[in-house]
């Protein structure tokens, strides 16, 4: 259960991801050179560094937009966070049932299941019991570096299958022993919601970066937004991506690691019950951040060959993968 | 006398011309005062003495009524005790007839109704059923009711339950209950009696039209074109030329906002519906309206099964408020009194419970999901900042406070926190309850009162239709039917018995002159079919009578469908069988007594122009209420009056109908327009024979043989005689002639006799 988890907070986990492998923005330097009024807000949201770049309207408008964004993040964290004991997700995991789920919850669960189908089960929002098994195992002082026993893994995997989640408008029901995690997708969803709300309030040419990055339109100067990719174990700056009206998400094996030896990363493969052995990192450029977020996770877990074949089928997305030697390739 | 005779003949020969001027007078009289003023209740009398302590037991004194909405502050021992207000002053309460109704209500500071006194009403339906005392007693029963919580209309729920409606006056009861509760809630809100009460912007100007509604600052608007939706979906519309034209078509044109305040909600959905809803809502509940046009339905269909509207949700700060079917009210039409009202494909009202945490004065956002069935819906949002209240309240503090722009990270990391009071929208009900709610067949029913009345009285409507069809058949085929004299008279008595027992006592179908007065009154003030549709039986009867009156005259009602008339005729029939001597009023006197009923009717009409209340009292001249509606359960003066009339009727058939019935008079006047004169006469009638005149139920046959259509009750007895070759002298004569000739075996004579027939 989420409350009995080891002292791993999401903040720490995501901070590590952000520090070691995630896409990050190039320093944004256009402000001094151009005439538009710009507001940059940096803060902390979803347990990670967050940034909003707004343009073209008054400061008061921008402050209001930031307030609206923060309220939306707060609201959705109360839905999806595993780290708030009373979030809807925690209540669902605790009770096995969530009556009167919000539309956001049903939508995101359905989306999660769709990516499960797309990735042939590699992306599974019900992988939480396995994650808990690993977390509990490595929280012990003399943890076996080989990881939990095969028996325990096998027993746990019996409770992992997103297809056994019953999603109805009036209630969500889990099979006994199941638990869900939305960590592979919620951040992207929240990023989309914030971007859409700002768009509906008349904002354009803005960048929302809440761990996953979503650009509305192009950069206000007219050029695309430029995103620097970091990949692999080295911190060397890899190629940059030019995006407009797109979202970017990166998933890296080293984003969080259970053990000191680095053998067990957080990307657990529900097929084997072990840490994924695929690409070292996957960056997805997609129309929406939720898609990018889920796809980057799914493609990291899938064996490279399968991942490559899925990537061929995704028409609306661009995929960059980092391999263990630190190089980054377009898939 | 002479002129009257002239009239009769004119009526007989060409009723249309003779009756035209009378009818014209009637119509002119009815419509002349069309824009006449309503009679609003006068100023509230000083609140002191018995009146004060009836409304507010324990009150020492009350201030004048001040503020908005106006209310008097009441002092009790120990200081401020509560308020007294008038429902007319607070919501301009109107009764079933649309005329003002005023109730003085006391409201204690803890939200209990301390007492209620009916000050003025013009409920016409009361005449047909209920005494003033019954109504006053009903109003008094509201004392003790708390308006803090939800109030249930369902029987069997002890807490917060409305008094039982007065049987026979359910509409008036409902309207009165709604008036009391809605005004009480509005007074409580404006005085912030409950902490949970929403912020109410004082003095919101009354919304009169759609334009006012939009300008009120309460309503947000979102219009999405097909092109915009396609773009957000990441699709391109097919660029056929045809498709291009549709790119700007509205995908959805959405208006939404809080319509809780009386000044906005009441004109939007109509006072009756608004009062009904507000009466049921708990303190602090909000009414949220969503109106839409376009291709896309914000309601969808899944809510019908799941109980949750999956395409919309309301967001305020970090709060998510789902829309659920059990709090959904379907509204069919907007009711703005002025201007053009746009038509909407979907209008829905949602009651947002006080414990949802929603604050109508703060900015909110309506999320609209497109492709809600799809896994990754596109979400649009209609964000709105209420303007009327933003001037009053400081700028909203969102749940997460904004960091100043252009700063480096200053926000504290979000530590997984205690459950926050505001983050849980609604404590989730236990599963069992959800199941139960999913079983709910419909949302709160706000269908018009009259629709409910019609759907619940289908059997009565069917039976009445059968009755009227039978009667129409009798009238259409009267020439054949009356020839079977004996069978016809039995059938007629059976029909009268059904009229008396079923129509009168079971179905409550006694028309009254008060109906006529109310109709005219409504024409002058605020005519609405709803007022008359509320009672299906009365409505159908009046519809039938109106048509039958134009065809055959007023007798169709008086002679066949009036329960009191039937009672008189059946009693007289019994009296005759018991050999009670019948008095035959000399025609000269009889004719001079006729006008009495016209005078009574005109008097009532005149009184009703001055005061409907007074006219309603004066209409007690009609014994219908005592004898039929109240089934003789009434004070002895009324009983004495009715018994006197009925006893007179034993000696003089249909005594009341002949001389006193104001309803008969009211029907007789327009009956002059009737089209058919099917009652057959012979040239010998009056001159040689007056048997019909002697047998006529109401002595409507003039000594000269003419039938006065103003008096005739269409009993068709004269027609049975007309065809009876053992009673009608001309027929007897020809029959005898024929028999004589037949006896002599003359073939020619037989032919001759047939020719006569």
Which pair of structure tokens corresponds to residue B416? 């997984």
Closest-CA distance of chain A to residue B152, Å: 24
Q: What b/e string do you get for A300-315 counting C-beta neighbours within 10 Å, with b at 16 or more? A: bbbeeebbbebbeebe
Bridge partners for B346 per DSSP = B292
Which of A66, A70, A200 is closest, CB to CB, to B380?
Answer: A200
Cα dihedral: A165, A168, A170, A171 (round 10): 0
Per-residue pLDDT at B23: 52
H/E segment holding residue B345: none
Per-residue pLDDT at B30: 46
Q: What is the pLDDT of residues B546-558, one digit of tens each?
A: 999 989 989 999 9
- What is the reported pTM? 0.62
Which pair of structure tokens corresponds to residue A94? 């605790």
Contacts of A42 in chain B (CB under 8 A): 407-409
Average pLDDT over residues B666-685: 86
Q: What is the rounded radius of gyration, in angstroms, for the C-alpha atoms of chain A?
A: 19
Per-residue pLDDT at B702: 87
Q: Looking at chain B from residue 393 to 412, which residues have their Cβ under 8 Å from any Cβ of chain A?
A: 398-412
Task: Name the pLDDT band for B195 (thresholds 50, 70, 90).
Answer: low
Contact A197 B310 (CB under 8 A): no
pLDDT above 90: residue B488 = yes
Closest-CA distance of chain A to residue B269, Å: 29
Alpha helices in B191-236 (DSSP H): 210-215, 226-233
Highest mean pLDDT among A11-25, A134-148, A193-207, B430-444: A193-207
Contacts of B358 in chain A (CB under 8 A): none
Per-residue pLDDT at B601: 95
pLDDT above 90: residue B429 = no
Alpha helices in B271-353 (DSSP H): 271-280, 302-306
Contacts of B232 in chain A (CB under 8 A): 196
ipTM: 0.81
Contacts of B355 in chain A (CB under 8 A): none
Residue in A170, A185, A191, A314 to test binding to B, most B beta-carbons within 10 Å: A170
In whole angstroms, how far apart are CA B377 and each of A193, A196, B10?
11, 12, 79
Task: Name the pLDDT band for B654 (thresholds 50, 70, 90).
Answer: very high
Closest-CA distance of chain A to residue B303, Å: 8
C-beta atoms surrounding B390 within 10 Å: 16
Closest-CA distance of chain A to residue B449, Å: 32
CA A223 to chain centre: 27
Contact B405 A40 (CB under 8 A): yes
Contact A197, B383 (CB under 8 A): yes
Q: What b/e string do you get for A250-275 counting C-beta neighbours within 10 Å, with b at 16 or more? A: bbbbbbbbbbeeeebbbbbbbbebbb
Contacts of B300 in chain A (CB under 8 A): none
Percent of chain B surpassing pLDDT 90: 26
CA angle B466–B468–B472, rounded 5-degree value: 115
Q: How far apart are CA A144 and CA B424, in angstroms?
A: 41
Per-residue pLDDT at A117: 92
Per-residue pLDDT at B526: 62
Average pLDDT over residues B176-183: 87
Q: How far apart are CA A90 and CA A170, in angstroms?
A: 18
Dihedral class, residue A216 (left if φ above 0, else alpha if ψ from -120 to 50, else beta) = beta
Tokens 């008095």 sit on residue = B583
Task: Name the pLDDT band for B11 (thresholds 50, 70, 90).
Answer: very low
Contact B423 A78 (CB under 8 A): yes
Q: How far apart are CA B115 and CA B92, in angstroms?
A: 19
User: Lowest-pLDDT range, A308-317, B201-210, B340-349, B427-436?
Assistant: B427-436
Contact A42 B380 (CB under 8 A): no
Q: How far apart are CA B507 and CA B33, in angstroms?
A: 34
Q: How far apart are CA A82 and CA A14, in angstroms?
A: 13
Task: Name the pLDDT band for B9 (thresholds 50, 70, 90).
Answer: very low
Bridge partners for B75 per DSSP = B61, B80
Q: For the residues of B638-684, what is the DSSP string, one character each?
A: HHHHHHHHHHHHHHSTTHHHHHT-HHHHHHHHHHTT---------TT
CA A87 to chain centre: 18
Sign of CA dihedral A162, A165, A166, A172: negative
Contacts of B378 in chain A (CB under 8 A): 196
Q: What is the pLDDT of residues B211-250, one digit of tens each?
A: 889 888 889 999 998 888 888 877 655 555 555 566 677 8
User: Lowest-pLDDT range, B342-346, B487-491, B684-688?
Assistant: B684-688
Burial class, A289, CB count within 10 angstroms (exposed 0-12 / middle 13-18 / buried 19+): buried
DSSP state of B500: I
User: Lowest-pLDDT range, A13-17, B495-499, B663-667?
Assistant: A13-17
| 3 state DSSP class of B8 | helix
The average confidence (pLDDT) of chain B is 78
| 3 state DSSP class of A91 | helix
In whole angstroms, how far apart are CA B267 and each of A184, B516, B621?
50, 29, 39
Highest mean pLDDT among A29-38, A194-203, B174-183, B298-307: A194-203
Count of A-B CB contacts under 8 Å: 158
Contact A74 B399 (CB under 8 A): yes
> CA nearest B383 in A: which residue?
A201
| 3 state DSSP class of A45 | strand
Contact B324 A100 (CB under 8 A): yes
CA B729 to chain centre: 54
SS3 content of chain A, % helix, strand, coil (to 5): 35, 20, 40
Contact B375 A107 (CB under 8 A): yes
Contact B435, B306 (CB under 8 A): no
Burial class, B190, CB count within 10 angstroms (exposed 0-12 / middle 13-18 / buried 19+): buried
pLDDT above 90: residue B562 = yes
Contacts of A63 in chain B (CB under 8 A): 402, 404-405
Stronger pLDDT, B381 or A28, i.e. the higher one = B381
Q: Identify which of B23, B107, B16 has the alpha carbon closest to the alpha carbon of residue B670.
A: B23
Which pair of structure tokens corresponds to residue B450? 């009259």
Contact B306 A49 (CB under 8 A): no
Per-residue pLDDT at B2: 38
Q: For the residues of A241-268, what is the DSSP string, one character each?
A: EEESS-EEEEEEGGGSBSSTTS--BS-B
User: Lowest-pLDDT range, A235-249, A273-287, B12-26, B473-487?
Assistant: B12-26
Which pair of structure tokens corresponds to residue B737? 């002639």
Stronger pLDDT, B414 or B597, i.e. the higher one = B597
Q: Identify which of B360, B390, B383 has the alpha carbon closest to the alpha carbon of residue B264.
A: B360
**Phi/psi of residue A207, each to 5°?**
-125, 130
> CA nearest B438 in A: which residue?
A170
Residue in B307, B308, B324, B371 to test binding to A, most A beta-carbons within 10 Å: B308
| Half-sphere exposure of residue A153: CA atoms within 13 angstroms, side-chain side | 14
């Amino acid at each position: 259960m989420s409350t009995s988890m080891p002292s791993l907070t999401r903040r720490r986990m995501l901070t590590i991801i952000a520090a070691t492998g995630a896409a990050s923005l190039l320093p944004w330097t256009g402000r001094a050179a151009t005439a538009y009024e710009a507001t940059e807000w940096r803060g902390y949201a979803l347990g990670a560094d967050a940034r909003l770049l707004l343009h073209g309207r008054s400061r008061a408008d921008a402050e209001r937009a930031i307030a609206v964004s923060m309220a939306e993040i707060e609201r959705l964290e109360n839905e999806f966070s595993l780290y708030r004991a009373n979030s809807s997700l925690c209540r669902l995991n605790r009770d096995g049932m969530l009556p009167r789920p919000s539309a956001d919850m049903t939508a995101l669960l359905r989306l999660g299941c769709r990516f499960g189908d797309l990735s042939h089960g590699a992306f599974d929002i019900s992988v939480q019991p396995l994650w808990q098994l690993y977390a509990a195992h490595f929280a012990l002082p003399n943890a076996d570096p080989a990881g939990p026993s095969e028996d325990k893994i096998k027993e746990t995997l019996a409770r992992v299958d997103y297809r056994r989640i019953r999603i109805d408008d009036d209630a969500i029901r889990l099979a006994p022993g199941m638990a869900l995690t939305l960590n592979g997708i919620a951040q992207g969803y929240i990023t989309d919601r914030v971007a859409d709300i700002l768009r509906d309030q008349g904002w354009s040419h803005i960048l929302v970066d809440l761990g996953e990055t979503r650009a509305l339109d192009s950069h206000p100067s007219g050029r695309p937004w430029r995103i620097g990719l970091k990949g692999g174990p080295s911190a060397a700056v890899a190629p940059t991506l030019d995006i407009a009206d797109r979202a970017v998400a990166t998933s890296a094996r080293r984003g969080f690691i259970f053990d000191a030896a680095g053998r067990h990363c957080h990307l657990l493969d529900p097929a084997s019950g072990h840490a994924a052995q695929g690409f070292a990192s996957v960056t997805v450029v997609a129309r929406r951040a939720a898609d990018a977020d889920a796809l980057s996770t799914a493609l990291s877990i899938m064996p490279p060959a399968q991942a490559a074949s899925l990537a061929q089928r995704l028409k609306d997305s661009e995929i960059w993968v980092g391999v263990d030697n630190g190089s980054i390739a377009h898939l | 006398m002479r002129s009257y005779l002239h009239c009769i003949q004119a009526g007989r020969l060409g009723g249309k011309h003779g009756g035209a001027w009378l009818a014209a007078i009637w119509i002119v009289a009815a419509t002349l005062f069309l824009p006449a003023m309503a009679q609003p209740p006068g100023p509230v009398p000083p609140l002191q003495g018995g009146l004060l302590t009836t409304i507010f037991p324990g009150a020492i004194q009350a201030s004048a009524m001040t503020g908005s909405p106006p209310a008097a502050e009441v002092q009790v021992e120990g200081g401020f005790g509560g308020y007294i207000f008038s429902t007319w002053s607070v919501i301009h309460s109107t009764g079933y007839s649309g005329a003002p109704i005023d109730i003085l209500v006391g409201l204690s500071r803890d939200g209990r109704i301390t007492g209620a006194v009916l000050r003025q009403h013009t409920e016409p339906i009361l005449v047909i059923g209920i005494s003033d005392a019954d109504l006053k007693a009903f109003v008094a029963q509201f004392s003790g009711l708390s308006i803090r919580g939800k109030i249930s209309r369902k029987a069997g729920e002890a807490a917060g339950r409305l008094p039982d409606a007065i049987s026979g006056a359910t509409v008036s009861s409902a309207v009165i209950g709604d008036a009391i509760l809605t005004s009480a809630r509005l007074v409580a809100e404006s005085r912030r009696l409950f902490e949970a009460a929403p912020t109410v912007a004082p003095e919101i100007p009354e919304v009169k039209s759609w334009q006012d509604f939009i300008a009120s600052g309460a309503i947000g608007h979102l219009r999405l074109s097909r092109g915009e939706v396609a773009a957000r979906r990441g699709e391109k519309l097919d660029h056929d030329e045809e498709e291009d034209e549709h790119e700007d078509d509205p995908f959805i044109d959405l208006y939404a906002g809080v319509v809780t305040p009386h000044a906005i909600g009441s004109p939007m959905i109509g006072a009756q519906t608004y009062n009904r809803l507000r009466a049921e809502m708990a303190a602090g509940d909000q009414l949220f309206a969503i109106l839409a046009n376009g291709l896309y339905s914000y309601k969808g269909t899944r809510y019908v099964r799941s109980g949750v509207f999956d395409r919309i949700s309301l967001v305020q700060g970090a709060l998510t408020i789902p829309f659920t079917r059990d709090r959904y009210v379907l509204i069919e039409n907007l009711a703005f009194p002025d201007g053009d009202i746009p038509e909407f494909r979907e209008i829905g009202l949602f009651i947002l419970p006080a414990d949802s945490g929603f604050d109508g004065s703060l900015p909110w956002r309506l999320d609209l999901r497109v492709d809600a069935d799809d896994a990754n819906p596109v979400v649009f949002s209609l964000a709105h900042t209420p303007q009327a209240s933003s001037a009053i309240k400081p700028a909203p503090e969102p749940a997460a406070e904004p960091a100043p722009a252009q700063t480096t990270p200053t926000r504290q990391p979000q530590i997984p926190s205690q459950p926050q009071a505001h983050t849980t929208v609604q404590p989730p009900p236990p599963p069992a309850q959800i199941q139960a709610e999913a079983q709910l067949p419909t949302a709160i029913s706000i269908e018009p009162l009259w629709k409910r009345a019609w759907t619940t009285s289908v059997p009565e409507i069917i039976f009445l239709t059968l009755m009227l069809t039978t009667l129409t058949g009798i009238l259409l085929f009267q020439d054949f039917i009356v020839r079977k004299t004996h069978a016809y008279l039995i059938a007629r008595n059976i029909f009268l018995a059904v009229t008396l027992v079923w129509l009168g006592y079971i179905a409550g179908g006694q028309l009254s002159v008060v109906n006529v007065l109310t109709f005219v009154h409504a024409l002058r003030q605020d005519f609405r079919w709803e007022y008359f549709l509320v009672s299906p039986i009365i409505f159908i009867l009046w519809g039938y009578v109106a048509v039958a009156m134009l065809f055959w005259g007023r007798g169709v009602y008086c002679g066949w469908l009036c329960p009191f008339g039937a009672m008189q005729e059946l009693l007289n029939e019994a009296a005759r069988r018991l050999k009670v001597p019948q008095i035959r009023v000399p025609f000269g006197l009889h004719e001079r007594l006729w006008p009495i009923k016209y005078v009574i009717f005109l008097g009532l009409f005149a009184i009703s122009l001055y005061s409907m209340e007074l006219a309603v009292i004066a209409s007690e001249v009609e014994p219908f209420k005592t004898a039929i509606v109240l089934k003789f359960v009434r004070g002895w003066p009324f009983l004495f009056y009715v018994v006197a009339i009925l006893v007179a009727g034993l000696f003089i058939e249909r005594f009341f109908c002949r001389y006193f019935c104001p309803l008969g008079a009211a029907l007789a006047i327009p009956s002059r327009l009737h089209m058919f004169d099917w009652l057959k006469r012979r040239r010998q009638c009056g001159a040689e024979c007056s048997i019909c005149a002697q047998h006529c139920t109401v002595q409507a046959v003039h000594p000269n043989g003419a039938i006065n259509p103003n008096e005739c009750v269409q009993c068709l007895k004269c027609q049975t005689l007309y065809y009876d070759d053992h009673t009608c002298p001309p027929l007897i004569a020809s029959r005898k002639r024929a028999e004589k000739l037949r006896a002599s075996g003359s073939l020619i004579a037989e032919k001759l006799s047939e020719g006569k027939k």
